[in-house]
């Protein structure tokens, strides 16, 4: 339920509606907009009778929210969310580019790549310190040491850091040291982690699960917003289908659909979708064309030696070329 107030409604009238919602046992969430305030009814397990609100002073109308998600929905927030991290802006019409290696391997590796992607125009740096790997025998990341390397990368380059929290236990450390907390595809429905990230004071980048519908993805984002953190960035990274010509099937159609359904910014990660270096650039250009708010791209200066995702990592010069082509 969304109680839409008249444009000249007073703070007292808004508070009175909020109190009626609290008296019903639910939670009011006033959402100020450019022209009027709307009050979203949260934590109601079933439908709410609009007659509780119609006729109250200052109320224009009470409308049922047709979707199961509320806080992430465009029905409740008409204006697109813009997230600022350091100098970087995500949402609001600019194409934000997050670039860096799949995993942090050493200080020298991370700094070498960071200097190059910054020179090419990336506005945030990525690199996994805690890696969710399919095999327990694969490189699992440098852990806290990797986070400290990322802190040094930020100190030297000024680029904000995006890195993954693979569970709620490491989320404290990631929140402390990183600028954006990434939740990976494998964890999109890890509700303990989603709730923990929802209590973080840093933006969260939520990747789409590899078999998640758009509704499941938006409901996962709703968990984060419902805990109080409204700074969520969505990221499409390909879903699993019968097609085996790429690592995943990039669902470019999800971008305009999610942008219609939600006010949250949506990025595309063409690297994990393609899985193969030569297909990253065409997918990135497609993403920019369908209105993505940004890109997340894996880059490595020695991909043949990379400890994870080398085959899909662009060489710095390929990344530079892509950035120039996308700008054009
Ligand atoms: C990553 O970004 O390195 C990663 C593991 O991605 P995903 O969760 O999309 O597989
Ligand atoms: Mn990777």
CATH number at residue 40: 3.30.70.1140
Average pLDDT of span 86-92: 97
For the Cβ of 128 lying below 6 angstroms from any atom of ligand 1, the answer is yes
Report the separation in Å between the CA atom of 317 and the middle of ligand 1, taken as the mean of its atom positions: 23
- Does residue 146 sit in the same domain as residue 176? yes
Residue 89 has pLDDT above 90, yes or no: yes
- Does residue 145 sit in the same domain as residue 268? yes
**Measured between alpha carbons, how far is 287 from 282 in angstroms, rounded to an integer?**
9
- Does residue 15 sit in the same domain as residue 156? no
Report the separation in Å between the CA atom of 126 and the middle of ligand 1, taken as the mean of its atom positions: 11
- Residue among 99, 101, 102, 134 whose CB has most ligand 1 atoms within 8 A, to mutate: 102
**Measured between alpha carbons, how far is 248 from 242 in angstroms, rounded to an integer?**
9
Report the separation in Å between the CA atom of 207 and the middle of ligand 2, taken as the mean of its atom positions: 12
Report the separation in Å between the CA atom of 32 and the middle of ligand 1, taken as the mean of its atom positions: 35
Rg (CA), the chain: 21
- Domain assignment of residue 250, given as a range: 83-327
- Does residue 228 sit in the same domain as residue 307? yes
Does some domain include residue 90?
Answer: yes
The band of 33, judged by pLDDT with boundaries at 50, 70 and 90, is confident
Residue 135 DSSP class: S
CB 119 within 8 A of CB 93: no
Does some domain include residue 268?
Answer: yes
For the Cβ of 202 lying below 6 angstroms from any atom of ligand 1, the answer is no
Q: Which ligand is nearest to the CA of 313?
A: 2
Q: What is the count of structural domains for the chain?
A: 2
- Does residue 169 sit in the same domain as residue 36? no
Q: Which ligand is nearest to the CA of 237?
A: 1
Q: How far is CA 30 from CA 27, 53, 59, 215, 282, in A?
A: 10, 14, 13, 24, 42
**Measured between alpha carbons, how far is 101 from 115 in angstroms, rounded to an integer?**
12
- Please report, rounded to a whole number, the percentage of residues in the chain having pLDDT higher than 90: 93
Report the separation in Å between the CA atom of 310 and the middle of ligand 1, taken as the mean of its atom positions: 13
Which residue is listed with tokens 């490189």? 139
For the Cβ of 263 lying below 6 angstroms from any atom of ligand 1, the answer is no
Q: What's the pLDDT score for residue 76?
A: 87
- Does residue 89 sit in the same domain as residue 17? no
- Residue among 185, 220, 251, 297 whose CB has most ligand 1 atoms within 8 A, to mutate: 185
Identify the CA nearest to 122 among candidates 95, 140, 97, 86: 97
**Measured between alpha carbons, how far is 272 from 280 in angstroms, rounded to an integer?**
9
**Measured between alpha carbons, how far is 99 from 90 in angstroms, rounded to an integer?**
14
- Does residue 34 sit in the same domain as residue 161? no
Which residue CA neighbors atom 1 of ligand 1 most closely? 102
Residue 123 has pLDDT above 90, yes or no: yes
Report the separation in Å between the CA atom of 164 and the middle of ligand 2, taken as the mean of its atom positions: 11
For the Cβ of 101 lying below 6 angstroms from any atom of ligand 1, the answer is no
Which residue is listed with tokens 């000249």? 8
- Please state the length of the chain: 328
Average pLDDT of span 282-287: 98
- Does residue 146 sit in the same domain as residue 228? yes
Average pLDDT of span 34-50: 89
∠ at Cα 284 (280, 287), nearest 5°? 140
Identify the CA nearest to 217 among candidates 262, 283, 256: 262
Please state the atom number of ligand 1 nearest to the C-alpha of residue 126. 2
Please state the atom number of ligand 1 nearest to the C-alpha of residue 132. 5
Q: How buried is residue 321: exposed, middle or buried, by Cβ count under 10 Å (0-12/13-18/19+)?
A: middle
With a CB cutoff of 8 Å and minimum separation 6, the contacts of 24 are 44, 48, 52
**Measured between alpha carbons, how far is 86 from 131 in angstroms, rounded to an integer?**
25
With a CB cutoff of 8 Å and minimum separation 6, the contacts of 195 are 168, 223, 224, 227
For the Cβ of 210 lying below 6 angstroms from any atom of ligand 1, the answer is no
Q: Residue 91: what are its φ and ψ, rounded to 5°? A: 100, 165
**Measured between alpha carbons, how far is 307 from 323 in angstroms, rounded to an integer?**
25
- What is the DSSP pairing of strand 161-164 with strand 180-183? parallel
Does some domain include residue 74?
Answer: no
Residue 32 has pLDDT above 90, yes or no: no
Q: What's the pLDDT score for residue 190?
A: 98
Q: 3-state DSSP: the chain helix, strand, coil percent, rounded to 5?
A: 35, 20, 40
Residue 288 has pLDDT above 90, yes or no: yes
Task: Tell me the per-residue pLDDT of 198-233, one tens digit each, with 9 for 90 and over.
Answer: 999 999 999 999 999 999 999 999 999 999 999 999
Identify the CA nearest to 266 among candidates 274, 257, 279: 257
CB 291 within 8 A of CB 328: no
């Amino acid at each position: 339920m969304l109680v839409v107030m008249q444009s000249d409604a007073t703070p007292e009238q808004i508070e009175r509606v909020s109190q009626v919602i609290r008296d019903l046992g639910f939670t009011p969430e006033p959402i100020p907009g450019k022209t009027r305030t709307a009050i979203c009814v949260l934590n109601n397990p079933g439908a709410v009778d609009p007659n509780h609100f119609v006729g109250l002073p200052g109320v224009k109308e009470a409308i049922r929210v047709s979707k199961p998600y509320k806080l992430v929905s465009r029905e409740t927030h008409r204006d697109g969310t813009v997230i600022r991290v350091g100098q970087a802006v995500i949402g609001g019409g600019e194409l934000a580019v997050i670039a860096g290696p799949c995993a942090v391997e050493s200080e020298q590796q991370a700094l070498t790549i960071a200097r190059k992607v910054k020179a090419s125009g990336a506005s945030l740096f990525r690199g996994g310190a805690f890696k969710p790997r399919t095999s327990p025998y694969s490189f699992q990341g440098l852990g806290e040491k990797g986070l400290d390397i990322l802190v040094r990368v930020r100190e030297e380059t000024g680029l904000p850091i995006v890195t993954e929290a693979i569970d709620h236990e490491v989320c404290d450390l990631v929140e402390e040291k990183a600028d954006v907390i990434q939740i990976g595809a494998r964890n999109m429905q890890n509700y303990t982690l989603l709730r923990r990230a929802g209590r973080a004071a840093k933006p969260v980048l939520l990747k789409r699960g590899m078999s998640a519908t758009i509704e499941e993805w938006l409901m996962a984002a709703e968990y984060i917003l419902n805990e109080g953190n409204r700074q969520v960035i969505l990221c499409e990274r390909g879903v699993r289908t019968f097609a085996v010509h790429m690592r995943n099937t990039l669902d470019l159609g999800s971008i305009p659909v999610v942008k219609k359904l939600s006010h949250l910014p949506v990025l595309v990660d063409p690297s994990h979708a393609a899985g193969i270096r030569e297909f990253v650039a065409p997918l990135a250009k497609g993403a920019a064309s369908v209105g993505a708010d940004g890109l997340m791209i894996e880059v490595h200066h020695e991909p043949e030696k990379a400890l994870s995702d080398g085959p899909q990592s662009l060489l710095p010069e390929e990344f530079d070329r892509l950035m120039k082509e996308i700008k054009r």
